[in-house]
């Protein structure tokens, strides 16, 4: 069976965040505004922050895109838009292929449930069927190295053990488009090596990687393209070898 | 593998397009009903993890309430326990499903904030999750219903298929109210409190604890209470009575209008919901 082409494309992508203060969330304030007829002037519209403005890019299979930029420059927002969670205000995002957002490892982890249950839950959320989770269970369980602890509630785990579980469950998916906010490094030294290998394998299998990071060396290591974001404005996608020029610009 | 292999998100392209996108969300969610079902079961089991009776704890507390209110009120009203206790039992159980679905609806999107802000899971999946969770709870409470109906001999006259149709109407209507409450609660944090007050008020103005015929000439007021119709459609057939045709008309109309309005609102602000959270 021939795999369908994997691609990511954004055209004039613009994302604005309405800022709903605690005040704006109160119904009383909302009603009060109506009764005074907006005379205070500031009642029209919510304050909006433009997180990404007019971003266009094309990625195809084999592309490993690194995102750099200061805090609040729109990297994570872009990743969330690529994951399909955030809807563009203008323009479009189109992704062909199975998306695996590894943005928050703790997603869907229920501390009172056992390790096995959490693996199952996480797998289901990631789009696996019940049967597929069953098939992978042994492999995931073995990878966590948690053995009999998997039958115990996750809240009894140490932070490192929880990270192992979350990592193993989150990376058990097969993906064409991998989204990552910082390169994931979890657990003790020994586990970090294993985790690193597993992540690399996942990246190799995936057609496209989008990795946001502040570490230039890391980007040089894993990416072949780079895009710099500043205040929601993105530079053109450039070759990783021109990273220094991009940073100097 | 049932995963989205093509995702397209665009800016607004007019109201019609927003409706199409909302419909796409709905379709995607119905393709993954099993996920909503798993999440609902997970909710039920995790809430009662470690307890011996599990979800049957609510059943037990409901049973006690039925017994207490049934016995005391039967004496207050001077009605035979045989007539009154089943009425209260069915009333509490099925009204519990209505109010549970509606009040928990307030948390539908708020609790799903993590998943909604980093995956492309359909939003409707979480609406189904709330509804399924309450259906699972109802499944546990049916013990009370079956027990009472057998003990007081109503099983001979109970019309289960008609009651099942009534239950469909009940869930259909509780469903849109639940979703509407969910959308509103995401935007305005006062809504859960309001919904709770309204449901608390509703339990007293709906004939849950009292027989309808006690209202006398004020009965017409009751006809305007939507919860009355939702409850009657299920309770009457189980107690050997018949449901007035206008009750079905009322419920069908309410479901159609309610879902229509809810869906329209959802279509218009769907892309904003994730930012509210």
Q: What pLDDT shows up at residue B267?
A: 92
Judged by a CB distance cut-off of 8 A, whether residue A33 touches chain B is no
Q: What pLDDT shows up at residue A29?
A: 61
Alpha carbon distances (Å) from A28 to A33, A45, A113, A186, B186: 8, 17, 39, 46, 15
Interface of A with B in 37-76 (CB under 8 A): none
Band (A44; pLDDT cuts 50, 70, 90)? very low
- Asked whether the beta carbons of residue B6 and residue A98 sit closer than 8 angstroms, the reply is no
- Asked whether the beta carbons of residue A125 and residue B12 sit closer than 8 angstroms, the reply is no
pLDDT by residue (tens digit) across A193-247?
888 888 888 888 888 889 998 888 888 888 888 898 888 888 888 888 887 777 7
Judged by a CB distance cut-off of 8 A, whether residue A114 touches chain B is no
Token couple for B127: 């609406």
Kindly list the residues from chain B whose CB atom is less than 8 angstroms away from the CB atom of residue A153.
49
- Asked whether the beta carbons of residue A96 and residue B116 sit closer than 8 angstroms, the reply is no
Q: Boundaries of CATH 3.40.50.300 in chain A?
A: 7-98+212-248, 115-210
Query: Chain B interface, mutation test: which of A13, A16, A25, A118, most B Cβ atoms within 10 Å?
Result: A25
Tell me whether residue B216 is exposed, middle or buried, using C-beta atoms within 10 angstroms of its C-beta: 0 to 12, 13 to 18, 19 or more. exposed
Q: What pLDDT shows up at residue A195?
A: 85
Q: In DSSP terms, which residues pair with A19 in a beta bridge?
A: none
Q: How far is B94 from chain A (nearest CA, A)?
A: 30
Band (A172; pLDDT cuts 50, 70, 90)? confident
Band (B147; pLDDT cuts 50, 70, 90)? very high
Alpha carbon distances (Å) from B169 to A205, B172, B178: 48, 5, 14
Question: What's the average model confidence in pLDDT over B61-66?
Answer: 90
Q: How far is A91 from chain B (nearest CA, A)?
A: 5
| pLDDT higher than threshold 70 for residue A41 | no
Question: What's the average model confidence in pLDDT over A81-97?
Answer: 88
Interface of B with A in 7-46 (CB under 8 A): 7-12, 34-35, 38-39, 42, 46
Q: What is the CA radius of gyration of chain A?
A: 21
Q: Which of B166, B177, B157, B161 is nearest to B244 (CA)?
A: B166
Question: Looking at chain B, which residue has its C-alpha nearest residue A21?
Answer: B276
Judged by a CB distance cut-off of 8 A, whether residue B116 touches chain A is yes
Question: What's the average model confidence in pLDDT over B27-52?
Answer: 87
Q: Which of B251, B209, B246 is nearest to B230 (CA)?
A: B251
Specify the CATH architecture of the domain A7-98+212-248. 3-Layer(aba) Sandwich (3.40)
Q: What pLDDT shows up at residue B255?
A: 95
Q: What pLDDT shows up at residue A147?
A: 86
* CATH hierarchy code of domain A115-210: 3.40.50.300
Question: What's the average model confidence in pLDDT over A114-134?
Answer: 87
- Asked whether the beta carbons of residue A125 and residue B119 sit closer than 8 angstroms, the reply is yes
Other Cβ atoms closer than 10 A to B82: 12
- Asked whether the beta carbons of residue B119 and residue A94 sit closer than 8 angstroms, the reply is no
Judged by a CB distance cut-off of 8 A, whether residue A124 touches chain B is yes
Question: What's the average model confidence in pLDDT over A98-116?
Answer: 84
Query: Chain B interface, mutation test: which of A84, A111, A136, A155, most B Cβ atoms within 10 Å?
Result: A84
Query: How far apart are alpha carbons B189 and B178 in whole angstroms?
Result: 15
pLDDT by residue (tens digit) across B212-253?
877 777 777 888 899 999 999 999 999 888 888 999 999 999
Q: How are beta strands B6-10 and A90-96 bridged, if at all?
A: antiparallel
Question: What's the average model confidence in pLDDT over B205-218?
Answer: 82
Share of residues in chain B with pLDDT > 70 (%): 99
Question: Looking at chain A, which residue has its C-alpha nearest residue B116?
Answer: A85
Kindly list the residues from chain B whose CB atom is less than 8 angstroms away from the CB atom of residue A96.
5-7
Q: What pLDDT shows up at residue A3?
A: 55
Question: What's the average model confidence in pLDDT over A126-130?
Answer: 83
Band (B127; pLDDT cuts 50, 70, 90)? very high
Other Cβ atoms closer than 10 A to B76: 11
Q: What pLDDT shows up at residue B80?
A: 87
| pLDDT higher than threshold 70 for residue A146 | yes
Token couple for B101: 């679905």
Q: How far is A248 from chain B (nearest CA, A)?
A: 32
pLDDT by residue (tens digit) across A152-164?
888 888 888 888 8
Query: Looking at the partner chain, which of B5, B10, B190 has a beta carbon nearest the beta carbon of A88?
Result: B10
Q: What pLDDT shows up at residue A34?
A: 54
Band (A47; pLDDT cuts 50, 70, 90)? confident
Query: How far apart are alpha carbons A149 and B254 in whole angstroms?
Result: 51
Q: What pLDDT shows up at residue A247?
A: 77
| pLDDT higher than threshold 70 for residue A36 | no
Interface of A with B in 74-113 (CB under 8 A): 80-81, 83-99, 101, 103-104, 106-108, 110, 112-113
Q: How far is B191 from chain A (nearest CA, A)?
A: 8
Could you tell me which residue, A3 or A142, shows the higher pLDDT?
A142
Kindly list the residues from chain A whose CB atom is less than 8 angstroms away from the CB atom of residue B117.
80, 85-86
Token couple for A247: 């940073």
Q: What pLDDT shows up at residue A89?
A: 87
| pLDDT higher than threshold 80 for residue B98 | yes
Kindly list the residues from chain A whose CB atom is less than 8 angstroms away from the CB atom of residue B114.
104, 106-108
Token couple for B261: 């309005």
Question: What's the average model confidence in pLDDT over A137-142?
Answer: 88
């Amino acid at each position: 069976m021939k795999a369908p082409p994997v691609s990511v494309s954004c055209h004039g992508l613009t994302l604005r965040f309405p800022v709903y203060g605690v005040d704006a969330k109160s119904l009383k304030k909302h009603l009060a505004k109506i009764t005074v007829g907006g005379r205070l002037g500031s009642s029209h519209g919510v304050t909006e922050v433009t997180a990404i403005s007019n971003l266009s890019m094309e990625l195809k299979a084999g592309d490993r895109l690194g995102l750099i930029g200061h805090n609040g420059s729109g990297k994570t927002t872009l990743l969330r838009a690529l994951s399909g969670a955030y809807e563009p205000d203008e323009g479009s995002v189109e992704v062909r292929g199975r998306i695996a957002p590894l943005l928050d490892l703790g997603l869907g982890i229920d501390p009172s449930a056992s390790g096995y249950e959490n693996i199952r839950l996480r797998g289901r959320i990631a789009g696996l069927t019940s049967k597929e989770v069953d098939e992978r269970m042994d492999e995931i369980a073995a990878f966590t190295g948690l053995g009999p602890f998997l039958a115990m509630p996750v809240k009894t785990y140490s932070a490192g053990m929880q990270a192992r579980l979350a990592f193993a469950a989150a990376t058990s998916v097969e993906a064409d488009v991998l989204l990552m906010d910082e390169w994931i490094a979890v657990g003790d030294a020994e586990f970090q090596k294993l985790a690193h290998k597993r992540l690399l394998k996942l990246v190799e299998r995936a057609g496209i990687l989008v990795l946001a990071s502040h570490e230039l060396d890391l980007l040089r290591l894993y990416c072949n393209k780079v895009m710099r974001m500043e205040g929601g404005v993105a530079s053109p996608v450039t070759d990783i070898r021109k990273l220094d020029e991009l940073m100097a610009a | 593998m049932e995963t989205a292999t093509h995702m397209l998100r665009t800016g607004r392209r007019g109201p019609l397009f927003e409706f199409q996108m909302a419909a796409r969300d709905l379709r995607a969610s119905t393709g993954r009903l099993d996920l909503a079902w798993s999440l609902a079961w997970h909710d039920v089991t995790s809430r009662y993890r470690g307890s011996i009776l599990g979800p049957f704890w609510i059943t037990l507390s409901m049973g006690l309430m039925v017994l207490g209110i049934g016995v005391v009120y039967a004496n207050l009203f001077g009605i035979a326990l045989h007539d009154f206790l089943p009425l209260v039992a069915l009333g509490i159980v099925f009204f519990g499903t209505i109010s549970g679905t509606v009040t928990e609806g307030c948390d539908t999107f708020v609790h799903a904030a993590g998943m909604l802000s980093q995956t492309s899971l359909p939003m409707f999946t979480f609406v189904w999750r709330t509804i399924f969770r309450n259906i699972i709870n109802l499944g546990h409470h049916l013990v009370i219903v079956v027990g009472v109906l057998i003990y007081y001999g109503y099983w001979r006259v109970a019309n289960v298929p008609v009651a099942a149709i009534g239950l469909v109407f009940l869930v259909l209507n509780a469903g849109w109210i639940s979703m509407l409450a969910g959308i509103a609660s995401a935007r305005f944090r006062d809504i859960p409190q309001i919904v709770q007050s309204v449901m608390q008020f509703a339990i007293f103005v709906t004939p849950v604890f009292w027989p309808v015929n006690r209202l006398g000439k004020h009965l017409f007021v009751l006809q305007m209470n939507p919860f009355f119709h939702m409850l009657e459609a299920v309770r009457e057939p189980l107690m050997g009575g018949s449901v007035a045709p206008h009750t079905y008309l009322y419920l069908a109309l309410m479901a159609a209008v309610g879902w229509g309005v809810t869906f329209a609102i959802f279509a218009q602000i769907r892309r904003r919901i994730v930012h509210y959270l």
